[in-house]
Amino acid sequence: MIDQQNALINNIEEFRDQNLEARGEAARKLQDLVQKRINYLQNPKDCRSNRKLVCAIHKKCGFGCQLHHLSYCMMTAYGTGRTMILVSKLWLYNPGGWEEIFEPLSATCTQTFNFKPQYYVTTGELESANELEVMLPAVDQLPKAPRFAPLGIPEDLADELDQFHGSPGVWWVGQFIKYIFRPRPWLRKELDGYEVTVDYSTPIVGVHVRRTDKIGKEASFHAIDEYMKHVDDWFDRYDQQRNSQQQEPTRRRVYLATDDPTLLPIAKAKFPHYTFVSFVHFSRTAGSLFHRYSTDSLRGVIADIHLLSKCNYLVCTFSSQVCRVAYELMQTLHPDASNYFHSLDDVYYYGGQTAHEQTAVLDHDPKPGSQEIELRVGDVVGIAGNHWDGFSKGTNRRTKQTGLYPSYKTKEIFPLVKYPTY
Ligand code: GDP
C-alpha cells in the first residue's frame, strides 16, 4: 500500500518535472525581473525627494518574526512606490544594527530627512498619503490586513508565475526575503564553510524541531519519531524513483535544526541508520528573551535557516516562523519547491495575511452524522487548517457552515493585487 502510494506520488512528481528546463528558465527570468525591480526601488537617484516607508526592526519577537515584518514592509513599499528605510540601531539581536550582519537594503538611500514619526495606516486601497516619509506599524497593529499583504500576488506577473509555481503567494514572499537576507561577506564566508560540512551533493532532508517557549503556547509537542516518519517516507520515495537506475540505497542524512539542545543525542540514538548533521556551537535558546537576543544566537538561527533552505525537503511545524522563512527562501532556489515540505501542524500562512481561501473544484456531500460540510463547485471556503489525513477544516462562505471537507476537492485562491509595474 505504502509502495503504491509512493509510486503515485513519484508519478505526480515526474509529471510536474516534465518541461523542467523551460519552467526553470521562466522562473529564473521572473526572479531576475522582480529582484531588478526591488533593486530599482531601493536605489533612487535622489534620496532626499524620494518617497519613503520607514520600518523598524524593533519588534520584540524572534528573528523569523522580525524578517516577516521586514518583508511585509518591503512589499508595501513596493506596492506604494516608496523606498523602504530600515531603522535597526539597537536591534535586540545585534545592537550595532542590521548592516553589521546583512547588506544594507540600499546603496543610495538609507536615511530620512524630514521624518516626523507618523504612522501610515493602509486603507486597503492604493495609499494617497502625500507625506514624503511615513512609518509602517507592525501588521498586528493595523485594523485590517493591508492590500499588499500576502498571500496576494501581483496581477502583472500572475500568468507567468502560474506557468511554473504551485504556490505563487509563497514565491512572492520568497522574493522579498531573498532581497533582505543578503549576508555580509564575513557571514557569507561563514555560511559557505557550513555548506561544505553539510555537503549537499547527496540528498539531505532538513528537519526543524521547535520546542522550548513555543510549546503549550503556540504549538503542541511533537516527538522526533513523528518528524522522522516523514523523513523515511521521503527517502523511500527517493529510493523507489532511483531503483530503476541504481541498486545502492541512498545514504540517509538529516540536517537537524532545533532550539532544544537535548534533541540531537536522542535522535542519533533512536535512528542509528541516519547521519545527523547539526551545528550546536551557537546558543539556540529561545526559552528566555535574555538568551535569545545575542549576536551568537542570531548567527545560529541565520545558519539554520540558510542551511534548511538548501535541503531537498523540509519536515517541520509551520507554526514556527523559522521553518516558514526557510521554506520561503527555498522557493528562490528551485523553479517550484512548493511541494518540498511536510508540516506537522499548520498549513503555510503569513501573520497578518489577507483571508486564506480556497475554491471547490468538486462537489462534496457530507456523510450523515459526520462533521463534514457540503461543497458545490465554485464555492469559496475560508480554510482554518489541514488535518493532514485527507481532510481540511474551513468555513463555506456560501452556506456559512464550518466543518471538514476532503482537501483534494478544493484548490487555493491567490488574490490578484494591482502593484505598480516599474
Ligand atoms: P517562532 O517563534 O518559532 O515562530 O520563530 P521566531 O524566529 O519568531 O522565534 C524563535 C527564535 O528562537 C528564533 O528566531 C531563534 O532565535 C530561536 N530558534 C528557534 N528555533 C531555532 C533553531 O532551530 N535554530 C536556532 N539557531 N535558533 C532557533
215 shares a domain with 174: no
Domain around 228: 183-343
3-state secondary structure of 390: coil
Report if residue 11 sits inside a domain. Answer: no
Grid cell in block for residue 218: 503556540
293 shares a domain with 161: no
pLDDT at 281: 55
Look up the CATH number of the domain holding residue 376: 2.30.30.40
333 shares a domain with 200: yes
353 CA to centre of own chain: 13
332 shares a domain with 251: yes
Cα–ligand 1 centroid distance for 211 (angstroms): 9
Atom of ligand 1 nearest to the CA of 214: 2
Q: Which of 158, 179, 200 is the last residue of a domain?
A: 179
Q: What is the per-residue burial (b if ≥16 Cβ within 10 Å, else e) of 16-36?
A: beeeeeebeebbeebbeebee
Using alpha carbons, list the distances in angstroms from residue 187 to 65, 94, 300: 21, 14, 11
195 shares a domain with 317: yes
254 shares a domain with 168: no
Look up the CATH number of the domain holding residue 245: 3.40.50.11350
162 shares a domain with 132: yes
Top mutation candidate among 218, 259, 292, 305 for ligand 1, by most atoms within 8 Å of CB: 259
Ligand 1 binding residues, C-beta < 6 A: 61-65, 208, 210, 214, 257-259, 282, 284, 286, 292, 297, 300-301, 304, 320-322
If you search the block for the grid coordinates 476537492, which residue do you land on? 409
Is residue 64 very low, low, confident or very high in pLDDT (cuts 50, 70, 90)? very high
Report if residue 254 sits inside a domain. Answer: yes
Number of structural domains (the chain) is 3
- Its pTM stands at 0.93
pLDDT at 289: 47
3-state secondary structure of 162: helix
219 shares a domain with 159: no
Comparing C-alpha atoms, which of 74, 89, 63, 76 is closest to residue 39?
74
Cα–ligand 1 centroid distance for 259 (angstroms): 7
Q: Look up the ipTM and state it.
A: 0.99
Q: Is the pLDDT of residue 16 over 80?
A: no
- pLDDT tens for each residue of 212-256: 889 988 999 999 999 999 999 999 999 988 876 667 789 999 999
Measured CA to CA, the distance from residue 108 to residue 103 in angstroms comes to 13
164 shares a domain with 189: no
Cα–ligand 1 centroid distance for 104 (angstroms): 23
Report if residue 4 sits inside a domain. Answer: no
Q: Per DSSP, what are the bridge partners of residue 119?
A: 135
- pLDDT tens for each residue of 139-182: 887 777 778 889 999 999 999 999 999 999 999 999 999 999 99
Q: Which helix (H) or strand (E) holds 31?
A: helix 20-42
